[in-house]
Structure 1
Amino acid sequence: MIFPAIDLRAGQSVRLYQGDFKQATLINPDPVAQAQQINAAGLTHLHMVDLDGAKSGQPENYATIAAIRKAFKGTIELGGGIRTYELATRYLKLGIDRLILGSVALTDPELVKRLLAEFGGERIVIGIDGTDGYVAIKGWLEQSQTKMSTLMKAMTASGARHFIVTDVARDGTMQGPNLGLYEELQAQVPTANLIASGGIRDLTDVQVLQASGFKDVIIGKALAQGGVTLAALAEVEA
């Protein structure tokens, strides 16, 4: 599946460079219209992050997320600051198809286990971001001492199946995805479905990932900068 990305900050669609809030580029002042454009191209999956929420741990862009959910026809996965059972269930009741749990998988694994047990591995996705193989937390503002593979194994044992893996050093850089990282993690956790995120430049990168067995891909900056088009992605997914 191809997941065009919309990252929300103060109700607008932006892109960060390596997760740095000081290096934000406005993509679209109207993310609802952006989501509709994705639909119009024939794509039915959307990756969405509440950047403000990832930083604060609160639903900072809830109204915008609700408006996008109402306008977008298809599957939406959402992450960013989902650190309580109450907020997780609130988003699920809103109609969000898949929740992305990031920092909380490390800081509050019991909550993630509870959500996996209640809603299953298709609705609860684990987001693992990091550098040099170690997990970054709190909107990439802090680096932990936990290896990505260690967290993946623990979450798999709790029922997780899908893992969005982002190399922070590649995100927003247009340097290409870290295929070596994905292959290493896949070898260590063969039952996991890795969703590639970060650094993807063009259609060739997408095709290389898919040929290597990573069928699910998230694309953000390449769309914004014109390295790939929605129409081209729709053809690949078809």
Structure 2
Amino acid sequence: MALIIPAIDLRGGRCVRLHQGSYDDETVYFDDPVDMAKLWRVQNARTLHVVDLDAARGGSEDREDNREVIRRIADALDIPIQLGGGIRSIEDIEQALDWGVYRVILGTAAVRNPDLVEEAIDRFSCRRVVVGIDARDGEARVQGWTEGSGVDAVELALDMERRGVRRIIYTDISRDGTMTGPNVQAYRNLGKALSKAKITASGGVGEHKDLVKIQTLSPYNVDSVIVGRALYENRFPCQQFWCWNDKEKVDLDTYSTARLRDQPSIDADC
């Protein structure tokens, strides 16, 4: 089964979800994202996907609030954290890794400064630096999805692979937050084009059958999927047996006793 990665999107220090990437269509799910992160860990998440939405748009007065939250999440958990949003320099990467983040996601920087990606991989390895491609109608978007780039998403992925990238996180913006199902064909097309990089799918998952669809993409090097709104809105039957409906009573500092194992779906070979 593909690795399921819960998503935590940060805006103004809170845990939110956007609909189709619109900053004007926001739902706040948790005031304290650290508690949210702990809850996903209690439910046996093996890694978390964290995005600083304020930083992704180019910075705001709330960005410092998110930085503090990111540091607290990394300090609190014993699983890898991948971070995206506003990471556009070697200094940004170093800072995130110093916070305890396991790996960083370069998005806008991959489009506007592809040489930075190559330099970052040389310095930190392809395990610690991955690329996020957020696409609408096949075009890579930048600045927190707010601007077009004129760059074809598949061509961008191919260039990133040539530069040493071994994981692409591909988000179909039109599906993100809609729970209408993943864009399976887009992942097939991307997987056919790539020869070395693995793919993490993102956008559109709304129920169990969507995870089954993702599983069929294994031959196309899709080995993991980021899930946000569907998890927050309790759309999976197994959540009825977890602690979601009684989350205020959960001991958030007691995790599963199951031994964490190294998973190839988290780290691609460099």
Give the TM-score of the pair, scaled to structure 2: 0.83
Q: Distance in 1 between matches of 2:59 and 2:131?
A: 16
Say what the alpha-carbon RMSD is for the aligned residues. Answer: 1.7
Partner of 1:73: 78
Cα deviations across residues 49-90 of structure 1 (Å, max 9, x unaligned)?
000010124754110000111112201000000011111101
Shift of 1:113: 1.1
* Equivalent residue runs for 1:46-195 within 5 Å: 46-57=48-59, 59-60=63-64, 61-195=66-200
Shift of 1:42: 1.4
From the CA coordinates, give the structure whose radius of gyration is larger: 2
Partner of 2:44: 42
Where 2:191 maps in the other structure, the secondary structure is helix
Q: Which runs of 5+ in 2 are unaligned?
A: 243-255, 257-262, 264-270
Q: Distance in 2 between matches of 1:6 and 1:15?
A: 8
CA contact (8 A) 2:5 2:226 kept: yes
Partner of 2:231: 223
Whether 1:29 aligns to 2:34 is no
Residue 8 of structure 2: which of 6, 9, 30 is its match?
6
Q: Distance in 2 between matches of 1:107 and 1:2?
A: 30
Q: Distance in 1 between matches of 2:58 and 2:217?
A: 36
**Aligned amino acid, residue 221 of structure 1:** R
Give the TM-score of the pair, scaled to structure 1: 0.94
CA contact (8 A) 1:44 1:73 kept: no
Q: Which runs of 5+ in 1 are unaligned?
A: none
Cα deviations across residues 168-205 of structure 1 (Å, max 9, x unaligned)?
11101111000000000111113221100001011221
**Aligned amino acid, residue 204 of structure 2:** G
Aligned residues: 234
Q: Does 54-63 or 186-195 show the bigger shift?
A: 54-63
Shift of 1:111: 1.3
Which of structure 1's runs of 4+ aligned residues deviate more than 6 A? Answer: none
Q: Distance in 2 between matches of 1:81 and 1:166?
A: 16
Q: Distance in 1 between matches of 2:195 and 2:89?
A: 29
Partner of 1:19: 21
Where 1:136 maps in the other structure, the secondary structure is strand
Change (3 A) 1:98 1:212: same
Residue 208 of structure 1: which of 204, 213, 219 is its match?
213
**Aligned amino acid, residue 227 of structure 1:** R
Where 1:74 maps in the other structure, the secondary structure is coil
Q: Distance in 2 between matches of 1:67 and 1:28?
A: 15
CA contact (8 A) 1:174 1:221 kept: yes
Shift of 1:215: 2.1
% same residue: 38
